[in-house]
Every structure is written in C-alpha cells, then in structure tokens.
A and B are shown apart, each in its own frame.
Chain A
Amino acid sequence: MNLFSELESGRTLGEIYGITAEIGRAIAELAARELEAGRLESAHAILEGLAVANPHDAAAWCLLALVERRRGRLLAARLCAETARRLAPDDLQVRLVRAEVLLATPAERQDGRTELEALAAAEGHVGERARALRAAMAEA
C-alpha cells in the first residue's frame, strides 16, 4: 500500500511514521514556546506540520488558530478553530480560542460574546481569561 492509499484509508502520517502522542505534544509545546516568543512563522511551520502529521489532535489546531489570528489570517484562524472544536467540542481551552477568533471577526462578534458568557463560569485560567475579556467587551 502506498502513502496516498494509506492516507485515503484514514491512517495519519503520525501512525505511518511512528509519531507517538508524547512526541506530538512535545512538538506542540515547542511551537507554543515559539509563539510565546513571537516567532509566528516558525510556530506556524511547526504547527502546520503537526496538524498534517495528526489531524485528530485538537491542540495543534487550537494553537494554529492562535497563530493564524496573530498573523491576521482570520479565515484560516476560523477554519482551525472550528476544526479544533469539532475534535474536542467540550474542551474549555478550545472553546476559549474559538471565542477569541470569533471576537476578531466583526460579523461573528456576538457569537464570540455568547461563548465568553458561557466560559466565564469556568474555573482556572480559561474562566479568568473569559471574565476579563467579557469585562473588556462590556466597556466597548
């Protein structure tokens, strides 16, 4: 079976080349650090590779949405955020990133606000961030 056939059958490059979840998450961590340092192109390249290696990893899509948003590519950010939400609909971090992407799009801002309202009750950094953003939006 060639590579194309393998991909068509639903196997991922991660499975084919033996990339484990630990390696995947370590790569995501590396990309997150690049993003933190403001090296968007580098983070984008790493995350795109990770998303292609395992398209089922919501973390890659989630981080990619953040990167794309910061690069000003809102449609790409939206695609990534929606894909992440499809993969992990109940994940609070995924929902927060999606809400922020929605807030960046004027036409979708209301949906973003609604999502933030829902997230404001959450505990931890997600809830904290959602409450802060909600407060900021209320003053806008």
Chain B
Amino acid sequence: MDTRGVAGAISYVPVQVEAGAAAAGTQATKAKANGVAKAAAAGKTKSTGSAKAVRATGAAKPKATAAPRTKVVTSGPGQVTVPSKGYATTTASKSVKTTASSTAKTTAASSKTTSTSSAKATGDYAFLQDKTLSAQEKLILFLATQKKNTNKELETMLDKAAAQKETAKKSGGGVTSLFNVAKSVVPALGVADKLLGGKLDDLLKQVSGPMLGAAATALGMPALAPTAMTMGPKLVDAVLNLQVPGAQQASTTSSSSTSGSKGGELDEVELARMQMLQKRVEEWTALISNLMQSFHQSRMNVLQNMR
C-alpha cells in the first residue's frame, strides 16, 4: 500500500535527557549528564543544574532544553511500518491492479468466466440467467430471494440465542462477554502472567470496549470485536462489579442477579441484530409489495387504453 504525505510527528515524554552531553568527553559535560540523568531517573525534568560547571571549563555551550524526545514518525521517511491490510485501497492502486489483471488475461481467464457463470447458475440467483423471465419477474424473484435469505439469517440467530440461553442455564451463569474478550486478548499478547494476574479488572477499567475489540482484531481474533465494541466504557464498571469471577461467587443473591444481567448484556447485542434483520425483512416485503402493485397498475392502464 502506498503511503506518502505529511511530516513526522513528535510526542513528548516526561523524561528529558541531554543526549549529546555524555559524548562531549569533558568533565563538565559528564557532570551535566549525570545531573540530568539523576533527575530523569527520578521521573522529573531538570533545568540543567550543572550548567555552571560547563561554563567554568568552557568546554561546551550549555543548552536549555535540547533534549531528544520520543518520536513516532507517522508518515514520510522512517515512518512506523505501514500496515499491509486494514485500510481501503486507493483509486490509484485499484486502477493499477485492474490494469495488471487485464493485461494478464489469457485463455485461462475465459475458462474462469465460464466456471463463474456456471457457479452462478447453480446458486440462489440462477434465475437471473434465465432468458425466459422478464426483467420485472427477475426483480421480484431477486427481492424474494433476498427476503428469504434474511429470514434464514434471522432464524439462525434465534436458534443460536436459544442455544446460548440453554448453555447459560446449564452452566449457571458465566463471566461477561467483555471479560471473555479480555481473557482471550491478553494471553495472545504473550504477557498473560504479568498483565493478567489479578489485574484484568483494572485493565478493563482503563481500556474501553471498542479498543479491546480493536486489539482482538489486531491479534487475529476479529470474531470477538463486535461483542467488545458494543460495550461502552460506562458499562465496564457495572459489568465488572457483577462479572468478575471473584465477585460472582460472593453471595447467592449476587450470583442470581449476575446471571440475569449477563443474559441482558448478551441479549442487547443479539436483539439489536435481530431487530435490524426484522426491519430488513419488513423493508423487502414492502418493496416487493409496492413493485407488484406498480406492475399491476401499469398493466391495468395498458388494458384500459386498449379498450
């Protein structure tokens, strides 16, 4: 992917160190470097306290704050590695790809076309190849197929939700989905022992759901992303209070409320999806109905004119 453009960026960190000082070689500059280094180690910035020593020897001209900063160059030379995926392709690269593919077209391409068309003919949309059907009929059939597919999807979701409910009942509740996402993401980073040990709840308080979802995608677990993304930061505290395993086993009353809330959290996502699918089915139905009415009307008009 081609990236060019804007200049590099500099980000500041609290520790400021005079880098060139140690290299200068004189006693005075060494003293200066030591002074700054101590301050830096203590986590403070220092306004070169040993500058007097530098002046006394005359070895080097003291600089006020010429400390190097931590830079993250986002573009141009020396930029952070550009991702090979995740961004949309530019128009330019698209056209290059198209040209390349068009020039590479050989007899193999024609055989590919044949195989594609044969694949189409066996699919749900085979009717589109049917020459005996009119455009109107094809349109109606297309919409009906769409509606059928959406209905199927909805049914699958309902089955899945029912199965989830059953599993939750059997296991007597579980940990929250966000907690599960974090439990998957953190070990994938290879720092499970240091980061996971008792600090996962703290991590969830610091990291929002969308960010955790993004991390999951970056680590090759995109399936976890939607769940995490639906969880806003405000929900995290509430969820953690109910869902952290330690807290869950606190009392019988809390565990019963936990399973209820947990079901609620999952349902939020599932219900949103179902609602969307249901809306889509309704839209398809309305569209088909309107089209049929329109076709009927135009045919009636033709007949009336003939009379």
CB contact between B17 and one of A10, A61, A67, A132 (< 8 Å): that residue:
A132
- Measured CB to CB, the closest approach of chain A to B277, in angstroms, equals 8
A21 and B1: CB pair below 8 A? yes
Assembly CA distance A43 to B189 (angstroms): 24
Q: Give how many A-B residue pairs fall within 8 Å (CB-CB).
A: 238
Beta-carbon contacts under 8 Å, A14-43 to B: 14-15, 17-26, 28-29, 31-33, 35-36, 38
Quick check: B81 and A135 within 8 Å, CB to CB?
no
Partner of B41, one of A23, A38, A93, A136: A136
Nearest-Cβ distance from residue B13 to partner chain A, whole angstroms: 6
Question: Which residue, of A18, A55, A131, has the highest number of chain B Cβ atoms within 10 A?
Answer: A55
Specify which of A18, A70, A76 lies most central, judged by the most chain B CB atoms within 10 Å of its CB. Answer: A76
The verdict on A118 contacting chain B, using a C-beta distance below 8 Å, is: no
Q: Is the CB of A66 within 8 A of B68?
A: no
Interface hit among B108-116, B125-133, B206-214, B247-255: B206-214
CB <8 Å contact, B195 and A86: no
Q: 1/0 per position for A119-138, CB-CB distance to B under 8 A?
A: 00000111011011101111
Q: Which residue of A lies closest to B90 (CB)?
A: A20
A119 CB, min distance to chain B CBs, angstroms: 11
Return chain A residues, CB-CB under 8 Å to B40: 133, 136
Q: A58-B83, A133-B40 are in contact. Are A52 and B229 (CB under 8 A)?
A: yes
Is B17 a contact of A133 with CB atoms below 8 Å? Answer: yes
Closest 7 CB pairs of A and B: A32-B9, A140-B41, A56-B86, A139-B37, A136-B40, A54-B86, A132-B17
Q: 22 interchain pairs (CB within 8 A)?
A: A7-B213, A8-B223, A8-B225, A10-B222, A22-B5, A25-B75, A51-B215, A57-B83, A59-B74, A62-B80, A63-B74, A64-B211, A66-B70, A75-B195, A87-B81, A87-B83, A91-B81, A93-B71, A94-B80, A135-B17, A135-B22, A136-B15
